[in-house]
Structure 1
């Protein structure tokens, strides 16, 4: 039996490496409370390599960030919601920051661009901003992922050679009446400046933005790494939008997945008698790496069916095609399914699945 001196501090005898392992596994509040256990534990928590604060300030309105935040230069992950970001003069950014998420944050265009460029280690950027901003410049040699939910009239990428995943979504309900030239992003994404991109997501607003200028047959820079395309509220009845899709497919020889959520076409705008391949010049396109297709909210229009027919005929490695129908009448559903399943398939293993 071991007899301890009554003055012995058992908590102080815990080895330093074990003490650190204990603190790492505790919520920040509990880790701070351990400073009361003994003299050795008093300041142990401040030496932790990572501190995770659950800091909620909610008054139902936008709040101003405390000035002390801008002096936390060792921050690695920053997630802000419903606040005003207005740094003091001379603020040099968070030089250790790896991820930045701003949700409903009030911030000026130039401040946002400056903040991003002053975080040289930044790898992940998420923006969810409901107010319209004029421009956004994303500068970052280490940025790998950018997801923007909001309306930016102009977006450009600079020094982003490692950027792999890009998602640009206006988060608005599509209304072609409201898609005036002033509301369309005039230079939504300069794809030739992101050669390493592997996944690209766009909604109708940014597709229209790319189409605002003359859409080339293919991009100046081949997107050899692009594996996945996601288009939200895409309208097959709009020639400019389909032209953008053609351009992206032509410029992406290693494309493996296509995901599209369809927006209904205006029947008056559909050229029923014109051949889809002839209209858009698809005859020279090959999809030799395409494996998966997911098209949601299919109405069964001729342009939609022609596009599906094209994919089946041009994709020798296709494995699955999921068609999610948006057809109310049962007879119409059966008719659309029968028509689609008759199309020739270049891939012997291609399976078509339908959800109604």
Structure 2
């Protein structure tokens, strides 16, 4: 006679396999949709959930990396460990996704200071249109690479010091929305603002 709990254990394992098989079937059914619909779904769920779809099935493992446009928003982490994970997440997404970055929003503190210049250079090459950066304390100097983001339509800056305009800078031609909160400008700040818009 088999031990008492053995049939229950076997049934439980069977249910787990059935659930996994059902999830894989749904994921594979989704793959039959046209690529532009899949992109639209993944863009709408946000980058965090889009990355999580890689666990659905083998076919979905790298699907999020092929998105034609990214919408990246990163909140301020609660502690140093969260900040390290946040930096790694931003680096990983920007490294693995060659697509356009439509929107980049981030709440930043001093732990990000060394990375923001690199991120701005990458997203400027990817045609970022909406850029929102909010800094915690100390009015860190915004890297001048922000002025290389020539396709910006909306720029929101909070808690930072805006650097002098680089030589040859000719405004943001597509800029429609400019939000500046608690920012510091250089001595000729009024001319700086005039040149930005």
User: Are positions 1:314 and 2:159 aligned together?
Assistant: no
Greater RCO structure (CA 8 Å; 6+ sep): 2
Q: How far apart are residue 185 of structure 1 and its match?
A: 3.8
In the alignment, the residues of structure 2 paired with residue 229 and residue 247 of structure 1 have an alpha-carbon distance, to the nearest angstrom, of 13
Encode CA deviations 1:200-229: one digit per residue, 9 max, x unaligned: 111215x844x4359459726753531110
User: Are positions 1:115 and 2:55 aligned together?
Assistant: yes
* 1:304 counterpart (175, 179, 184): 184
User: Are positions 1:203 and 2:107 aligned together?
Assistant: yes
Q: Secondary structure at the match of 2:147?
A: helix
- 1:225 aligns with 127
- 2:145 aligns with 247
Unaligned runs of 5+ in 1: 1-65, 76-93, 106-110, 121-137, 144-158, 173-177, 319-356
* 2:177 counterpart (264, 274, 292): 292
Q: How far apart are residue 238 of structure 1 and its match?
A: 1.6
Contact 2:72 2:103 in 1 (8 A): yes
In the comparison of the two structures, how many residue pairs are matched? 162
RMSD of the alignment, in Å?
4.5
In the alignment, the residues of structure 1 paired with residue 151 and residue 166 of structure 2 have an alpha-carbon distance, to the nearest angstrom, of 17
Contact 1:184 1:208 in 2 (8 A): no
In the alignment, the residues of structure 2 paired with residue 308 and residue 117 of structure 1 have an alpha-carbon distance, to the nearest angstrom, of 54
* 1:189 counterpart (64, 83, 90): 90
Unaligned runs of 5+ in 2: 1-14, 32-37
In the alignment, the residues of structure 2 paired with residue 221 and residue 233 of structure 1 have an alpha-carbon distance, to the nearest angstrom, of 18
User: Are positions 1:160 and 2:66 aligned together?
Assistant: yes
Q: How far apart are residue 167 of structure 1 and its match?
A: 1.6
Encode CA deviations 1:77-130: one digit per residue, 9 max, x unaligned: xxxxxxxxxxxxxxxxx232755769xx9xxxxx9584167463xxxxxxxxxx
Larger proportion of helix? 2
Matches within 5 A, 1:273-284: 276-277=163-164, 282-284=166-168
Q: How far apart are residue 162 of structure 1 and its match?
A: 1.0
> TM-score, normalised to structure 1's length?
0.35
Larger proportion of strand? 1
